[in-house]
Amino acid sequence: MGEQLNREKWLAEVKKQAADLSISDHLVKQRISLTQIHMLDLQLVRWMRPFMLHDFAHVAQQMSQSVSDLFKIQSMVLSEKTKEDLTRMYITQARSVFSGIIDQHFLTICRDQAAFFFDHHLSLTNQAALNHLYQRRLMDVIIKAVNYSEQALTISDALGKVLNLNYQLVMDSYQQMEKAYEIQKAEEIRFKAFHDVLTGLPNNLVAEETIVDLIKTCQISKQSFSLLKINIDRLKIINEIFGRSIGNELLISLSGRVNQTLNGMNAELFRISSDEFMIICKNCLNKRGLIHIAEKLVHTTEKPHTIEGKEIYATFSIGISEYPYDGSSSVQILASAEAALREAKKSNKESYFFYNNALHQQLLMKVSTENELQTALYNHQFVLFYQPQVNACNGTLIGVEALIRWKHPKRGIVPPSGFISVAEETGMIREIGWWVLKEACQRMKSWQDQGAPRVPVSVNLSFNQFHDDSLVKRVCHALEVSGLCPEYLELEITESTMAEDLERSIKILNEIRALGVGVSLDDFGTGYSSLSYLKSLPINQLKIDRSFVLDIARSNRDQAIVTAIVSMAEQLWIDVIVEGIETKEQLLAIESCRCRAIQGYYYSRPLAEEDFSENYLA
């Protein structure tokens, strides 16, 4: 360059530079107009390019270090590879800016910059600061490269416009990426809210909405639809044996098979809980058509699922309900499918079960029982009946079992089979059980005060009661309030009640025995591990289950089993009582097994308080 600037000659030289501003993108044209970029501006930066080329890499490295320092402030460290990527990005940007061309390639570079900043969560504020720093460093190079301040100012002004356009396009792309990310995130959240994450199937919320919509449609069209509720058998055991990850793969494989079976049908599969699926058949199918679908589904369980080299068989039960025959609302039709599923799981013949009128009546009774149980305890509708336990040799009373009855205002005396299962399902069994314990203790103490024989009263403990942390305190309280001596209380517990956590069960039983209260192992012989843990249990009595008594008069095998139990119990210093004696023949057979304590209808049915007192305590 000469010592004095000949502006006209210099600008004439600048205008010879090849530049391009003919981009067709409408939004970019608007940006160009707003930043007031003209052809001369592009020609100015293009003219400057040869003087800048050897400085592109140095400026890019400076910017890479500045970005790295910015991340350090945020307690983040960029890898060497990321720093190298940054350097290449700024070199590419410089070459594009000083090319004098605004075309599709220019836009691509801007988008790549935006993608880098977005991927590394660099805010718009920090991007603005970096853009300002980059512009200042390039202008410093320009000032050093030219001799005339007028040239430097003119070129810097043109460069500022191009860099401003570059920054705006980067910012536009960045905001578009942010918006797309938020939309995707919202869609993912919505998908997770309405779909099962594991299988990708729509979940119970979608199923319920679908049922509601179908009901509205069918009310107008007078058509019907069906629900098939599927429960995977033994999924918990499969998870315990093979691990949850294999269990999850099994569910994915199983749902895939079911969906393949439904191909070509107007039906949709939903996953509604951990081990349950539901199929909504939107076609108006008759019973034969539904049986065909059910049997095709059951057929899919005949082949094993191969997962991680293991062959796993998975079976399921199906409950089927139809709208409008089995319910006119979504709640009713779902409840009907659930009720049918319970029956299917009970069945040993078929894996599917149709809801029917008999089941409907059972369900109505259950709902009615559940509602009435809510107030039965507080309305004093429960009473205790008492069944004697006697010495078979002389017929003397050796104990009493307290058995609950429901004195229903309309149904009369309701036996436990009419409400206990509902009480267990609803959790009301716990409060009912505490009432039985307290009432039995008070009644036995009252009888003893009236001169009755001092024999123990037996009270059954439910699963819920036994696993209640307040059990021992409740027993203490019942004894304290009634004044009954602990030796006259016997708690009956089934093997299944204790089997879930044997270590805890032994601890609780030891605490009960330490009070002086007796413990009887009820329904002995029906469990899976009776003999293996019997020696560890602090019990004082075995109650042999009635199933061994039913045919004992004719079955040498049953007699041998009972004799063995009695002999073993004697060696362990444990008393034995047999329940379910109904005939003279059964009594004689039991006596031949050297068992003296018995209970059953042969001597007496459970009696109301007054009748028991009159017959056995007078």
Residues 6+ apart with CB under 8 A from 305: 249, 250, 253, 254, 311, 312, 313, 314
Determine the pLDDT at residue 1.
41
Residues 6+ apart with CB under 8 A from 456: 399, 400, 444, 487, 488, 489, 490, 518
pLDDT digits (tens, 9 = 90+) for 202-231: 999 999 999 999 999 999 999 999 999 999
Annotate 237-294 with DSSP letters as a single string.
Answer: HHHHHH-HHHHHHHHHHHHHHHHHHTTTSSEEEEEEETTEEEEEE-S---HHHHHHHH
Residues 522 and 560 in one domain: yes
Q: Domain for residue 317, yes or no?
A: yes
Residues 437 and 553 in one domain: yes
Q: Domain for residue 108, yes or no?
A: yes
Q: Domain for residue 273, yes or no?
A: yes
End-of-domain residue from the set 330, 356, 382: 356
Q: Domain for residue 364, yes or no?
A: no
Determine the pLDDT at residue 349.
67
End-of-domain residue from the set 127, 158, 191: 191
- Ramachandran class of 542: left when φ > 0, alpha when ψ lies in -120 to 50, beta otherwise: beta
What distance in Å separates the CA atoms of residue 523 and residue 544, rounded to the nearest whole number? 6
DSSP state of 435: H
Residues 384 and 510 in one domain: yes
Q: Listing from the earlier edge strand, what are the strands of the sheet with 225-232?
A: 267-273, 276-281, 225-232, 316-323, 352-354
Determine the pLDDT at residue 443.
96
Which among 470, 468, 442, 471 is positioned nearest to 457, based on CA atoms? 442
Residues 66 and 154 in one domain: yes
3-class SS letters over 154-204:
HHHHHHHHHHHHHHHHHHHHHHHHHHHHHHHHHHHHHHHHHECCCCCCECH
Q: Domain for residue 369, yes or no?
A: no
What distance in Å separates the CA atoms of residue 153 and residue 158, rounded to the nearest whole number? 9
Judged against a pLDDT cut of 90, whether residue 123 lies above it is answered with no
pLDDT (mean) for 529-540:
73
Residues 431 and 523 in one domain: yes
Domain interval for residue 423:
374-617
Q: Domain for residue 368, yes or no?
A: no
pLDDT digits (tens, 9 = 90+) for 429-485: 999 999 999 999 999 999 999 999 999 999 999 999 999 999 999 999 999 999 999
Beta-bridged to residue 520, according to DSSP, are 492, 541
Q: Which CATH number do you get for residue 296?
A: 3.30.70.270
Beta carbons within 10 angstroms of residue 107's beta carbon: 19
Residues 399 and 536 in one domain: yes
Q: Which CATH number do you get for residue 474?
A: 3.20.20.450
Residues 215 and 162 in one domain: no
Read off the pTM.
0.58
pLDDT digits (tens, 9 = 90+) for 289-319: 999 999 999 999 999 999 999 999 999 999 9
Residues 180 and 209 in one domain: no
Judged against a pLDDT cut of 80, whether residue 93 lies above it is answered with yes
Q: Domain for residue 199, yes or no?
A: no
pLDDT (mean) for 391-413:
93
End-of-domain residue from the set 191, 220, 244: 191
Determine the pLDDT at residue 3.
52
Residues 516 and 433 in one domain: yes
What distance in Å separates the CA atoms of residue 24 and residue 494, rounded to the nearest whole number? 85
pLDDT digits (tens, 9 = 90+) for 323-355: 999 989 999 999 999 999 999 998 766 799 999
Q: How many domains does the chain have?
A: 3
Task: Place 2 in a pLDDT band, splitting at 50, 70 and 90.
Answer: very low
Task: Place 555 in a pLDDT band, splitting at 50, 70 and 90.
Answer: confident
Determine the pLDDT at residue 118.
93
Residues 225 and 347 in one domain: yes
What distance in Å separates the CA atoms of residue 60 and residue 93, rounded to the nearest whole number? 9
Residues 400 and 498 in one domain: yes
DSSP state of 528: S
Length of the chain: 618
Q: Which CATH number do you get for residue 29?
A: 1.10.490.10
Which among 92, 88, 89, 83 is positioned nearest to 64, based on CA atoms? 83
Residues 218 and 168 in one domain: no
Q: Domain for residue 197, yes or no?
A: no
Determine the pLDDT at residue 23.
86
